Structure 1
Amino acid sequence: MEEVEVVVAHHERATLRVGDVFLKVDTDQARADAEVAAMALAPIPTPEILWRKPPVLALSALPGRELGRPGKPSTASSAAWAAAGAAARKLHEAPLPPAPGWSPGQLTEDLDRECAWLIANDVLPAELVTRNRRIADAALQPWTPVFTHGDLQVAHIFVEGDEVTGVLDWSEAAQGDALFDLAALTLAHQEHLADVVAGYGGDVDLDRLRAWWSLRSLRVVRWLVDHGFDPKPEVEVLEAQLF
Protein backbone atom coordinates (compact mmCIF):
# COMPACT_ATOMS: atom_id res chain seq x y z
CA MET A 1 0.00 0.00 0.00
CA GLU A 2 1.36 3.41 -0.96
CA GLU A 3 1.90 5.90 1.84
CA VAL A 4 0.48 9.39 2.01
CA GLU A 5 3.25 11.99 2.21
CA VAL A 6 2.49 15.50 3.40
CA VAL A 7 4.57 17.69 1.07
CA VAL A 8 3.49 21.01 2.56
CA ALA A 9 0.60 22.05 4.75
CA HIS A 10 -0.45 25.33 6.28
CA HIS A 11 -3.60 27.29 7.11
CA GLU A 12 -4.46 28.12 3.51
CA ARG A 13 -3.80 24.89 1.62
CA ALA A 14 -2.05 21.53 1.66
CA THR A 15 -0.27 19.30 -0.84
CA LEU A 16 -0.15 15.53 -0.40
CA ARG A 17 1.68 12.91 -2.42
CA VAL A 18 0.37 9.40 -3.00
CA GLY A 19 2.71 7.46 -5.26
CA ASP A 20 3.05 9.45 -8.48
CA VAL A 21 0.06 11.67 -7.78
CA PHE A 22 0.08 15.04 -6.01
CA LEU A 23 -3.17 16.16 -4.40
CA LYS A 24 -3.48 19.91 -3.84
CA VAL A 25 -6.23 20.90 -1.41
CA ASP A 26 -7.20 24.56 -1.64
CA THR A 27 -10.49 26.01 -0.37
CA ASP A 28 -9.92 29.19 -2.38
CA GLN A 29 -11.36 28.10 -5.73
CA ALA A 30 -10.49 31.39 -7.43
CA ARG A 31 -6.83 30.70 -6.66
CA ALA A 32 -7.15 27.13 -7.90
CA ASP A 33 -8.86 28.36 -11.08
CA ALA A 34 -5.99 30.79 -11.64
CA GLU A 35 -3.43 28.00 -11.23
CA VAL A 36 -5.16 25.76 -13.77
CA ALA A 37 -5.46 28.63 -16.25
CA ALA A 38 -1.81 29.62 -15.85
CA MET A 39 -0.56 26.07 -16.44
CA ALA A 40 -2.59 25.94 -19.65
CA LEU A 41 -0.90 29.13 -20.89
CA ALA A 42 2.66 28.48 -19.72
CA PRO A 43 5.14 27.69 -22.54
CA ILE A 44 7.32 25.56 -20.24
CA PRO A 45 6.63 22.07 -18.81
CA THR A 46 4.05 21.83 -16.02
CA PRO A 47 2.50 18.85 -14.23
CA GLU A 48 -0.31 17.04 -16.04
CA ILE A 49 -3.75 17.68 -14.52
CA LEU A 50 -5.18 14.23 -13.84
CA TRP A 51 -8.53 15.32 -12.45
CA ARG A 52 -10.15 18.09 -10.47
CA LYS A 53 -12.90 17.87 -7.89
CA PRO A 54 -12.95 21.04 -5.76
CA PRO A 55 -11.32 21.59 -3.38
CA VAL A 56 -8.84 18.95 -4.70
CA LEU A 57 -6.63 19.20 -7.78
CA ALA A 58 -4.77 16.02 -8.78
CA LEU A 59 -1.47 16.46 -10.61
CA SER A 60 1.03 13.99 -12.00
CA ALA A 61 4.48 13.85 -10.44
CA LEU A 62 7.29 15.46 -12.41
CA PRO A 63 10.40 13.42 -13.25
CA GLY A 64 13.65 14.32 -11.55
CA ARG A 65 14.09 16.29 -8.35
CA GLU A 66 13.85 19.82 -7.05
CA LEU A 67 16.53 22.27 -8.14
CA GLY A 68 17.04 22.88 -4.43
CA ARG A 69 15.37 23.48 -1.10
CA PRO A 70 15.03 26.79 0.74
CA GLY A 71 17.82 27.26 3.23
CA LYS A 72 19.85 24.26 2.06
CA PRO A 73 22.77 24.04 -0.40
CA SER A 74 21.75 22.89 -3.86
CA THR A 75 23.46 19.84 -5.34
CA ALA A 76 22.21 20.62 -8.86
CA SER A 77 24.80 21.38 -11.53
CA SER A 78 25.62 24.84 -12.83
CA ALA A 79 24.08 23.75 -16.14
CA ALA A 80 20.81 22.88 -14.37
CA TRP A 81 20.73 26.34 -12.80
CA ALA A 82 21.37 27.88 -16.21
CA ALA A 83 18.53 25.78 -17.62
CA ALA A 84 16.26 27.22 -14.94
CA GLY A 85 17.27 30.70 -16.07
CA ALA A 86 16.51 29.77 -19.68
CA ALA A 87 13.06 28.44 -18.66
CA ALA A 88 12.35 31.74 -16.90
CA ARG A 89 13.32 33.64 -20.07
CA LYS A 90 10.96 31.49 -22.17
CA LEU A 91 8.11 32.17 -19.74
CA HIS A 92 8.80 35.91 -19.68
CA GLU A 93 8.72 36.08 -23.49
CA ALA A 94 5.27 34.44 -23.67
CA PRO A 95 2.03 36.42 -24.16
CA LEU A 96 0.79 38.06 -20.97
CA PRO A 97 -1.66 36.15 -18.76
CA PRO A 98 -4.94 37.87 -17.88
CA ALA A 99 -4.16 38.33 -14.16
CA PRO A 100 -2.79 41.89 -13.70
CA GLY A 101 -0.60 41.18 -10.67
CA TRP A 102 0.68 43.77 -8.20
CA SER A 103 1.41 47.34 -9.22
CA PRO A 104 4.42 49.22 -7.78
CA GLY A 105 2.02 51.34 -5.72
CA GLN A 106 0.26 48.32 -4.23
CA LEU A 107 3.59 46.67 -3.44
CA THR A 108 4.82 49.84 -1.72
CA GLU A 109 1.76 49.95 0.54
CA ASP A 110 2.04 46.25 1.37
CA LEU A 111 5.79 46.47 2.00
CA ASP A 112 5.42 49.46 4.33
CA ARG A 113 2.70 47.62 6.26
CA GLU A 114 4.89 44.52 6.66
CA CYS A 115 7.92 46.57 7.73
CA ALA A 116 5.86 48.39 10.36
CA TRP A 117 4.61 45.04 11.71
CA LEU A 118 8.10 43.55 11.86
CA ILE A 119 9.37 46.50 13.89
CA ALA A 120 6.30 46.92 16.13
CA ASN A 121 6.36 43.24 17.11
CA ASP A 122 10.15 43.04 17.58
CA VAL A 123 10.39 40.28 15.00
CA LEU A 124 13.50 41.81 13.41
CA PRO A 125 15.84 44.62 14.49
CA ALA A 126 14.55 48.00 13.36
CA GLU A 127 17.83 48.90 11.64
CA LEU A 128 17.79 45.67 9.63
CA VAL A 129 14.25 46.40 8.46
CA THR A 130 14.75 50.07 7.63
CA ARG A 131 18.01 49.57 5.73
CA ASN A 132 16.54 46.75 3.64
CA ARG A 133 13.42 48.87 3.07
CA ARG A 134 15.66 51.52 1.51
CA ILE A 135 17.36 48.89 -0.66
CA ALA A 136 13.93 47.64 -1.78
CA ASP A 137 13.07 51.05 -3.25
CA ALA A 138 15.01 50.17 -6.41
CA ALA A 139 12.59 47.30 -7.10
CA LEU A 140 9.55 49.57 -6.90
CA GLN A 141 10.28 51.49 -10.09
CA PRO A 142 7.85 50.98 -13.01
CA TRP A 143 8.56 47.86 -15.06
CA THR A 144 7.48 46.37 -18.36
CA PRO A 145 5.09 43.54 -17.40
CA VAL A 146 5.84 39.97 -18.44
CA PHE A 147 4.29 36.56 -17.73
CA THR A 148 5.66 35.80 -14.25
CA HIS A 149 5.33 32.59 -12.27
CA GLY A 150 5.02 34.60 -9.06
CA ASP A 151 6.73 32.10 -6.75
CA LEU A 152 9.61 30.71 -8.78
CA GLN A 153 11.52 29.33 -5.82
CA VAL A 154 13.93 26.42 -6.16
CA ALA A 155 11.53 23.83 -4.71
CA HIS A 156 9.06 24.54 -7.51
CA ILE A 157 11.52 23.77 -10.34
CA PHE A 158 12.27 20.12 -11.13
CA VAL A 159 15.35 19.04 -13.03
CA GLU A 160 16.75 15.78 -14.34
CA GLY A 161 20.42 15.96 -15.13
CA ASP A 162 20.94 19.39 -16.65
CA GLU A 163 17.38 19.80 -17.98
CA VAL A 164 14.26 21.36 -16.47
CA THR A 165 11.46 18.77 -16.45
CA GLY A 166 8.73 21.01 -15.09
CA VAL A 167 7.64 23.84 -12.84
CA LEU A 168 5.09 23.52 -10.02
CA ASP A 169 2.68 25.78 -8.15
CA TRP A 170 1.26 28.37 -10.55
CA SER A 171 -1.28 29.89 -8.15
CA GLU A 172 0.55 33.26 -8.05
CA ALA A 173 1.13 33.53 -11.81
CA ALA A 174 0.35 37.00 -13.16
CA GLN A 175 1.73 39.96 -15.05
CA GLY A 176 4.77 41.33 -13.21
CA ASP A 177 8.44 42.25 -13.20
CA ALA A 178 10.75 39.63 -14.71
CA LEU A 179 13.31 40.37 -12.00
CA PHE A 180 10.80 39.31 -9.35
CA ASP A 181 10.96 35.74 -10.67
CA LEU A 182 14.76 35.77 -10.97
CA ALA A 183 15.05 37.08 -7.42
CA ALA A 184 12.76 34.35 -6.11
CA LEU A 185 14.81 31.74 -7.94
CA THR A 186 18.13 32.91 -6.49
CA LEU A 187 16.96 33.99 -3.02
CA ALA A 188 19.25 32.30 -0.46
CA HIS A 189 21.12 30.72 -3.39
CA GLN A 190 23.11 33.78 -4.42
CA GLU A 191 26.07 31.59 -5.36
CA HIS A 192 24.10 30.44 -8.43
CA LEU A 193 23.11 33.93 -9.59
CA ALA A 194 25.74 33.98 -12.37
CA ASP A 195 24.50 30.61 -13.69
CA VAL A 196 20.88 31.79 -13.77
CA VAL A 197 21.80 35.06 -15.48
CA ALA A 198 23.89 33.19 -18.07
CA GLY A 199 20.96 30.91 -18.87
CA TYR A 200 18.49 33.79 -18.90
CA GLY A 201 20.56 35.79 -21.37
CA GLY A 202 20.39 39.48 -22.13
CA ASP A 203 20.97 42.35 -19.76
CA VAL A 204 19.89 41.77 -16.15
CA ASP A 205 19.91 44.71 -13.74
CA LEU A 206 21.63 43.05 -10.78
CA ASP A 207 21.06 46.00 -8.44
CA ARG A 208 17.29 45.82 -9.00
CA LEU A 209 17.37 42.03 -8.68
CA ARG A 210 19.08 42.36 -5.29
CA ALA A 211 16.49 44.96 -4.32
CA TRP A 212 13.84 42.32 -4.98
CA TRP A 213 15.69 40.01 -2.56
CA SER A 214 15.12 42.59 0.18
CA LEU A 215 11.54 43.29 -0.84
CA ARG A 216 10.51 39.64 -1.09
CA SER A 217 12.19 38.74 2.21
CA LEU A 218 10.61 41.61 4.11
CA ARG A 219 7.15 40.80 2.76
CA VAL A 220 7.24 37.07 3.48
CA VAL A 221 8.60 36.88 7.05
CA ARG A 222 5.23 37.46 8.74
CA TRP A 223 3.50 34.90 6.50
CA LEU A 224 6.16 32.30 7.30
CA VAL A 225 5.89 32.92 11.04
CA ASP A 226 2.08 32.84 10.99
CA HIS A 227 2.05 29.53 9.08
CA GLY A 228 4.64 27.78 11.22
CA PHE A 229 7.66 28.00 8.91
CA ASP A 230 11.19 29.07 9.82
CA PRO A 231 12.07 32.43 8.20
CA LYS A 232 15.80 31.89 8.77
CA PRO A 233 16.78 31.84 5.04
CA GLU A 234 14.98 35.14 4.44
CA VAL A 235 16.48 36.73 7.55
CA GLU A 236 19.96 35.64 6.46
CA VAL A 237 19.35 37.27 3.06
CA LEU A 238 18.33 40.51 4.76
CA GLU A 239 21.47 40.42 6.90
CA ALA A 240 23.71 39.71 3.91
CA GLN A 241 22.21 42.67 2.04
CA LEU A 242 23.88 45.07 4.48
CA PHE A 243 27.41 44.09 3.41
Structure 2
Amino acid sequence: MHIGQTNYLPLSGPFFLSLFGLLSLVFVLVQIGALQFAYRRMGLHPGAAWLLLLGSLLGSYVNLPIVHLPEQQVVSGQVIDFFGMKYVVPIVVDWPGTIIAVNVGGALIPGLTSIYLASRNRIWWLGAICVVGVAGVCHTLAQPVRGLGIALPVFVPALSSAIIALLLSRRHAAPLAYIGGSLGALIGADLLNLDKVQGLGAPIVSIGGAGTFDGVFVTGVIAVLLASLTGARGPDGRHSGAAT
Protein backbone atom coordinates (compact mmCIF):
# COMPACT_ATOMS: atom_id res chain seq x y z
CA MET A 1 0.00 0.00 0.00
CA HIS A 2 1.22 3.49 -0.84
CA ILE A 3 0.20 6.12 1.71
CA GLY A 4 -0.05 8.72 -1.07
CA GLN A 5 -2.95 6.74 -2.54
CA THR A 6 -5.15 7.80 0.39
CA ASN A 7 -5.09 11.39 -0.92
CA TYR A 8 -7.38 12.20 -3.84
CA LEU A 9 -10.11 14.64 -4.87
CA PRO A 10 -13.46 13.33 -3.56
CA LEU A 11 -15.45 14.67 -6.51
CA SER A 12 -15.01 14.33 -10.26
CA GLY A 13 -13.27 17.26 -12.00
CA PRO A 14 -16.37 19.17 -13.22
CA PHE A 15 -18.11 18.98 -9.85
CA PHE A 16 -14.99 20.01 -7.95
CA LEU A 17 -14.54 22.97 -10.33
CA SER A 18 -18.17 23.99 -9.74
CA LEU A 19 -17.45 24.24 -5.99
CA PHE A 20 -14.31 26.23 -6.76
CA GLY A 21 -16.43 28.55 -8.91
CA LEU A 22 -18.86 28.98 -6.02
CA LEU A 23 -15.93 29.83 -3.75
CA SER A 24 -14.66 32.38 -6.30
CA LEU A 25 -18.08 34.05 -6.32
CA VAL A 26 -18.01 34.29 -2.52
CA PHE A 27 -14.53 35.86 -2.74
CA VAL A 28 -15.74 38.50 -5.22
CA LEU A 29 -18.76 39.34 -3.07
CA VAL A 30 -16.55 39.69 0.00
CA GLN A 31 -14.15 41.95 -1.90
CA ILE A 32 -16.93 44.32 -2.97
CA GLY A 33 -18.33 44.34 0.55
CA ALA A 34 -21.60 42.53 -0.19
CA LEU A 35 -20.94 39.68 2.24
CA GLN A 36 -18.54 41.25 4.72
CA PHE A 37 -21.27 42.09 7.21
CA ALA A 38 -22.70 38.57 6.84
CA TYR A 39 -19.43 36.97 7.91
CA ARG A 40 -19.12 39.41 10.81
CA ARG A 41 -22.60 38.39 11.96
CA MET A 42 -21.32 34.84 12.15
CA GLY A 43 -18.38 35.93 14.27
CA LEU A 44 -15.72 35.59 11.56
CA HIS A 45 -13.49 38.13 9.84
CA PRO A 46 -14.40 38.08 6.11
CA GLY A 47 -10.83 37.38 5.02
CA ALA A 48 -10.43 34.57 7.53
CA ALA A 49 -13.79 33.09 6.56
CA TRP A 50 -12.83 32.96 2.88
CA LEU A 51 -9.51 31.32 3.76
CA LEU A 52 -11.37 28.73 5.80
CA LEU A 53 -13.59 27.89 2.81
CA LEU A 54 -10.53 27.74 0.55
CA GLY A 55 -8.73 25.54 3.08
CA SER A 56 -11.76 23.28 3.25
CA LEU A 57 -11.88 22.93 -0.54
CA LEU A 58 -8.15 22.26 -0.94
CA GLY A 59 -8.02 20.15 2.21
CA SER A 60 -10.60 17.77 0.72
CA TYR A 61 -7.64 16.20 -1.12
CA VAL A 62 -5.98 15.08 2.13
CA ASN A 63 -7.13 12.03 4.11
CA LEU A 64 -5.51 11.00 7.40
CA PRO A 65 -5.76 7.19 7.84
CA ILE A 66 -6.82 6.03 11.32
CA VAL A 67 -8.15 2.44 11.04
CA HIS A 68 -7.72 -0.51 8.66
CA LEU A 69 -10.58 -2.97 8.08
CA PRO A 70 -9.83 -6.26 6.27
CA GLU A 71 -11.69 -6.61 2.97
CA GLN A 72 -11.61 -9.46 0.47
CA GLN A 73 -12.01 -7.28 -2.61
CA VAL A 74 -12.09 -3.50 -3.09
CA VAL A 75 -13.43 -1.35 -5.92
CA SER A 76 -10.79 0.71 -7.74
CA GLY A 77 -10.71 3.56 -10.25
CA GLN A 78 -14.42 4.26 -10.68
CA VAL A 79 -16.69 7.30 -10.67
CA ILE A 80 -19.91 6.69 -8.75
CA ASP A 81 -23.09 8.67 -9.44
CA PHE A 82 -25.24 9.36 -6.37
CA PHE A 83 -28.17 11.82 -6.44
CA GLY A 84 -26.64 13.66 -9.40
CA MET A 85 -23.17 14.03 -7.85
CA LYS A 86 -20.18 12.11 -9.21
CA TYR A 87 -17.78 10.77 -6.57
CA VAL A 88 -14.32 9.42 -7.31
CA VAL A 89 -13.11 6.01 -6.16
CA PRO A 90 -9.28 6.23 -6.34
CA ILE A 91 -7.13 3.79 -8.27
CA VAL A 92 -5.39 1.60 -5.70
CA VAL A 93 -2.62 -1.00 -5.98
CA ASP A 94 -1.75 -3.71 -3.41
CA TRP A 95 -4.54 -2.46 -1.15
CA PRO A 96 -5.00 -4.26 2.20
CA GLY A 97 -8.74 -3.60 2.60
CA THR A 98 -10.88 -0.63 3.67
CA ILE A 99 -9.04 2.31 5.20
CA ILE A 100 -11.03 4.54 7.57
CA ALA A 101 -9.65 8.06 7.34
CA VAL A 102 -10.43 11.62 8.43
CA ASN A 103 -10.68 14.22 5.68
CA VAL A 104 -8.90 17.50 6.46
CA GLY A 105 -11.17 19.75 4.41
CA GLY A 106 -14.47 18.04 5.16
CA ALA A 107 -13.99 17.10 8.82
CA LEU A 108 -11.08 18.73 10.64
CA ILE A 109 -11.47 22.30 9.36
CA PRO A 110 -15.32 22.45 9.65
CA GLY A 111 -15.14 20.73 13.04
CA LEU A 112 -12.64 23.20 14.50
CA THR A 113 -14.52 26.13 12.94
CA SER A 114 -17.77 24.91 14.51
CA ILE A 115 -16.16 24.79 17.96
CA TYR A 116 -14.83 28.32 17.45
CA LEU A 117 -18.24 29.65 16.36
CA ALA A 118 -20.01 28.00 19.30
CA SER A 119 -17.52 29.60 21.70
CA ARG A 120 -17.45 32.98 19.94
CA ASN A 121 -21.24 33.30 19.89
CA ARG A 122 -21.79 31.51 23.22
CA ILE A 123 -24.31 29.08 21.73
CA TRP A 124 -23.10 25.75 23.09
CA TRP A 125 -26.55 24.43 24.05
CA LEU A 126 -28.33 25.73 20.96
CA GLY A 127 -25.50 24.36 18.84
CA ALA A 128 -25.80 20.94 20.48
CA ILE A 129 -29.56 20.86 19.83
CA CYS A 130 -29.04 21.83 16.19
CA VAL A 131 -26.33 19.19 15.75
CA VAL A 132 -28.57 16.47 17.21
CA GLY A 133 -31.46 17.49 14.94
CA VAL A 134 -29.37 17.59 11.76
CA ALA A 135 -27.58 14.36 12.70
CA GLY A 136 -30.96 12.64 12.99
CA VAL A 137 -32.01 13.81 9.52
CA CYS A 138 -28.65 12.89 7.96
CA HIS A 139 -28.58 9.47 9.62
CA THR A 140 -32.06 8.72 8.27
CA LEU A 141 -31.22 9.73 4.68
CA ALA A 142 -27.60 8.55 4.43
CA GLN A 143 -27.07 5.41 2.36
CA PRO A 144 -24.23 2.90 2.10
CA VAL A 145 -22.91 2.85 -1.48
CA ARG A 146 -20.69 0.06 -2.76
CA GLY A 147 -17.19 1.23 -3.58
CA LEU A 148 -17.75 4.60 -1.94
CA GLY A 149 -18.87 4.17 1.66
CA ILE A 150 -21.63 6.36 3.11
CA ALA A 151 -23.25 8.98 0.87
CA LEU A 152 -25.77 11.74 1.52
CA PRO A 153 -27.75 13.96 -0.90
CA VAL A 154 -25.75 17.17 -1.21
CA PHE A 155 -28.32 19.69 0.08
CA VAL A 156 -29.59 17.67 3.08
CA PRO A 157 -27.13 19.05 5.68
CA ALA A 158 -27.46 22.65 4.48
CA LEU A 159 -31.26 22.77 4.22
CA SER A 160 -31.99 20.82 7.40
CA SER A 161 -29.52 22.89 9.42
CA ALA A 162 -30.92 26.15 8.02
CA ILE A 163 -34.48 25.21 9.00
CA ILE A 164 -33.55 23.99 12.48
CA ALA A 165 -31.28 27.00 13.10
CA LEU A 166 -34.05 29.46 12.20
CA LEU A 167 -36.47 27.65 14.50
CA LEU A 168 -33.97 27.80 17.38
CA SER A 169 -32.74 31.38 17.04
CA ARG A 170 -33.08 33.95 14.29
CA ARG A 171 -30.35 36.00 15.94
CA HIS A 172 -27.81 33.16 15.77
CA ALA A 173 -29.24 31.35 12.75
CA ALA A 174 -26.07 31.64 10.63
CA PRO A 175 -23.50 30.17 13.06
CA LEU A 176 -26.03 27.57 14.19
CA ALA A 177 -26.58 26.51 10.58
CA TYR A 178 -22.85 26.10 10.04
CA ILE A 179 -22.35 24.19 13.29
CA GLY A 180 -25.41 21.98 12.82
CA GLY A 181 -24.78 21.28 9.14
CA SER A 182 -21.10 20.49 9.57
CA LEU A 183 -21.09 18.43 12.77
CA GLY A 184 -24.56 17.00 12.11
CA ALA A 185 -23.49 15.59 8.74
CA LEU A 186 -20.22 14.21 10.11
CA ILE A 187 -21.91 12.55 13.08
CA GLY A 188 -25.21 11.47 11.52
CA ALA A 189 -24.00 10.34 8.10
CA ASP A 190 -20.43 9.20 8.73
CA LEU A 191 -19.74 8.33 12.36
CA LEU A 192 -23.08 6.66 13.13
CA ASN A 193 -22.78 4.53 9.98
CA LEU A 194 -19.23 3.26 10.39
CA ASP A 195 -20.61 -0.16 11.29
CA LYS A 196 -22.01 -0.44 7.74
CA VAL A 197 -18.84 0.24 5.72
CA GLN A 198 -17.22 -3.20 5.91
CA GLY A 199 -18.32 -5.30 2.98
CA LEU A 200 -18.91 -2.31 0.67
CA GLY A 201 -15.57 -2.83 -1.09
CA ALA A 202 -14.56 0.82 -0.61
CA PRO A 203 -10.76 1.27 -0.60
CA ILE A 204 -11.11 4.41 1.54
CA VAL A 205 -14.00 5.51 3.73
CA SER A 206 -13.23 9.10 4.60
CA ILE A 207 -15.08 10.89 7.41
CA GLY A 208 -16.01 14.20 5.82
CA GLY A 209 -14.70 13.01 2.45
CA ALA A 210 -16.45 11.61 -0.62
CA GLY A 211 -20.16 11.27 0.04
CA THR A 212 -20.46 14.06 2.60
CA PHE A 213 -17.81 16.68 1.73
CA ASP A 214 -19.94 18.51 -0.82
CA GLY A 215 -22.81 18.81 1.67
CA VAL A 216 -20.53 20.17 4.38
CA PHE A 217 -18.98 22.70 1.96
CA VAL A 218 -22.36 23.93 0.71
CA THR A 219 -23.46 24.29 4.35
CA GLY A 220 -20.78 26.96 4.83
CA VAL A 221 -22.13 28.98 1.91
CA ILE A 222 -25.76 28.59 3.03
CA ALA A 223 -24.81 29.80 6.51
CA VAL A 224 -23.40 32.99 5.02
CA LEU A 225 -26.58 33.55 3.02
CA LEU A 226 -28.61 33.12 6.21
CA ALA A 227 -26.46 35.75 7.90
CA SER A 228 -27.10 38.17 5.06
CA LEU A 229 -30.86 37.58 5.16
CA THR A 230 -31.46 37.68 8.92
CA GLY A 231 -31.18 40.66 11.21
CA ALA A 232 -28.74 38.87 13.47
CA ARG A 233 -26.48 40.65 15.89
CA GLY A 234 -22.86 39.96 16.55
CA PRO A 235 -21.51 38.20 19.65
CA ASP A 236 -21.04 41.56 21.37
CA GLY A 237 -24.79 42.20 21.09
CA ARG A 238 -24.50 45.04 18.56
CA HIS A 239 -25.98 44.98 15.09
CA SER A 240 -23.35 43.91 12.62
CA GLY A 241 -24.76 45.24 9.38
CA ALA A 242 -22.81 47.02 6.68
CA ALA A 243 -20.88 50.04 7.84
CA THR A 244 -22.23 53.44 6.97
TM-score, with length taken from structure 2 = 0.32
Provide the TM-score with structure 1 as the length reference: 0.33
Query: Which structure shows the higher strand fraction?
Result: 1
